[in-house]
Amino acid sequence: MTSSSTEAGGTLAIRARVLTYHAHPLSAGEGGSHRYIEDGLVIVRDGLIEAVGEAHALLPDLAVDLTVADYRPFLLTAGFIDPHLHLPQTQVIGSYGTELMEWLARYTFPEETRYGDPAVADAASRFLLHELLRNGTTTAVAFCTSHPQSVESFFTESQRMGLRMVAGKVMMDRHAPEALLDTPRRGYDESKDLIARWHGNGRLAYAISPRFAPTSSEAQLEATQALAAEYPAMHIQTHLSENAGEIAFVAELFPWSKDYTHVYERYGLVRRKALFGHCIHLSERERGALAEAGATAVFCPTSNLFLGSGLFDRDAALKAGLRTGIATDIGGGTSYSMLTTAAEGYKVLALRQQALPGHAAFYMMTAGNAEAIGYGDRIGQVAPRFEADFVVLDTHATPALRQRMERVETLEEELFVLMTMGDDRCVVSTYASGRKVHARGMGGIDLPSPAHAPTSVGGDFTGASAPEVESVQAA
């Protein structure tokens, strides 16, 4: 494939097995939830999907000089979406042996104090975004730190890569190191300035981001409420009901509240596009209140297991009509891979005697998470008029996968095995707005160079590994 075919504003054709979801398999049934094309063609123009169909039907009408990227027998789906992670936690991931509140105090807060330094924030943003692309994730909702610089760095790099990203400056004015605290006024003003600079700039969106109730005074929650009222369609992100100690702390800090969710309700933060990380220990009342307001509960399985926080009750959320996403929660979470995240989600749900088949998992990682973050009309599907964010997957990427796949007979089985045994090695290519932004063995192959050379924060920013380059044959 020629490089010119992937430039923004150009036309691109990709041939592969194509899989896309338009409904939840657990409600619509497997057959009514998705479209699968064994030999499919996706045509992209100006960063949007123009057509999707059988290759034999679409190939004759292509321009004779258009090169087709032929990925057969690989599988093309919408790019993965990660609705909850933390930019500054890439170097505390895997920190040993504590529960949530101690983990924050011992590892996370000290790390976050470094992010007022542009060099640190720039380098970490480059690392995180390249790592997400290497794992097939094309959109994420990210907590930055309380430093405006962390948001500037994250959005600058996201814009350079042409990614659809959502992020915000953490607002917190108590129960954290002095170097991380803002004030109600400063949190409001700095958020407003960042909104004016970045919200709606290209593919970027701002999220109003009170870290969680314990780190915001009532005065700051009132300031957050004012922001939310001024921007009624904007994302809100925070944490809710992750850990028993945290819940008890909230009850102590807000003695007037009926429960944890009531704190956010009082300050106007429970609404559509409000994303609440974890939601493990919710009461029936809380689930109903979140569902009625159109808010989203975000399931973070690797984090919940690693910190010993508890087991998410997916079926109770579905019964309440509560919109639900699944996320990595880097760095309480222990993997950047949405495949690994879904595999751990399967185990969490199994402990609750609940099911997560392959189709349901791939729906959640794509169209489901798009709907969960309020972007179900623009990303998460391989369908006309949707943004051209894709991941191309090799379901036979490792010897163990190849061995296992010899006994697979259906697409559902193949997806489930890919979910349970797959990881970043299965990602052949990642596309954003129709541009190839990662290729296995080559890293970010179609990205403009940063203004200055990256400073290492513990990894290779190109994402390159072994010198393996998958061949892409011209049709």
Query: Each residue of 444-471: pLDDT tens digit?
Result: 777 776 654 333 333 332 333 322 333 4
Nearest to 361 by CA among 393, 383, 321, 404: 393
User: Which residue, chain included where needed, has tokens 């399967």?
Assistant: 346
Nearest to 79 by CA among 433, 471, 459, 475: 433
DSSP 145: -
Residue 194 phi/psi, 5-degree rounding, is: -65, -40
Q: Is the CB of residue 124 less than 8 Å from the CB of residue 165?
A: no
Q: What is the pLDDT of residue 195?
A: 98
Order of strands across the sheet with 427-432?
Answer: 48-54, 34-45, 11-21, 68-78, 390-393, 427-432, 435-439
Query: Each residue of 275-312: pLDDT tens digit?
Result: 999 999 999 999 999 999 999 999 999 999 999 999 99
Burial of 232 (0-12, 13-18, 19+ CB in 10 A): exposed
CA 76 to CA 392: how far, in whole Å?
4
Give the Cβ contact number of residue 98 at 10 Å: 14
Beta strands in 151-286 (DSSP E): 165-168, 170-171, 204-210, 235-240, 274-278
Q: What torsion, rounded to 10 degrees, do the Cα atoms 334, 339, 341, 346 define?
A: -140
Q: What is the pLDDT of residue 434?
A: 96
Task: For residues 325-350, give the mean pLDDT.
Answer: 98
The per-residue pLDDT of the chain, averaged, comes to: 92
Query: Each residue of 29-88: pLDDT tens digit?
Result: 878 999 999 999 999 999 999 999 999 999 999 998 898 999 999 999 999 999 999 999
User: Which residue, chain included where needed, has tokens 């005065």?
Assistant: 219
CA 322 to CA 412: how far, in whole Å?
26
Q: Is pLDDT of 323 > 90?
A: yes
CA 287 to CA 231: how far, in whole Å?
24
Residue 192 or 441, more confident: 192
Task: For residues 366-374, give the mean pLDDT.
Answer: 98
Residue 6 or 280, more confident: 280
Q: Is pLDDT of 90 > 70?
A: yes
Task: For residues 420-445, give the mean pLDDT.
Answer: 94
Q: What is the pLDDT of residue 185?
A: 98
- Quote the radius of gyration of the chain (alpha carbons, Å): 21
Helices marked H in 44-183: 55-58, 100-103, 109-112, 118-134, 148-161
Q: Is pLDDT of 442 > 90?
A: no
Q: What share of the chain has pLDDT > 70, as a percent?
A: 92
Q: What is the pLDDT of residue 181?
A: 97
Q: Is the CB of residue 241 less than 8 Å from the CB of residue 286?
A: yes
Of the chain, the end-to-end C-alpha distance in Å amounts to 10
Task: For residues 90-101, give the mean pLDDT.
Answer: 91
Nearest to 145 by CA among 223, 91, 201, 100: 91
Task: For residues 386-415, give the mean pLDDT.
Answer: 98
Nearest to 211 by CA among 272, 278, 283: 278
CA 132 to CA 469: how far, in whole Å?
19
Task: For residues 251-267, give the mean pLDDT.
Answer: 98
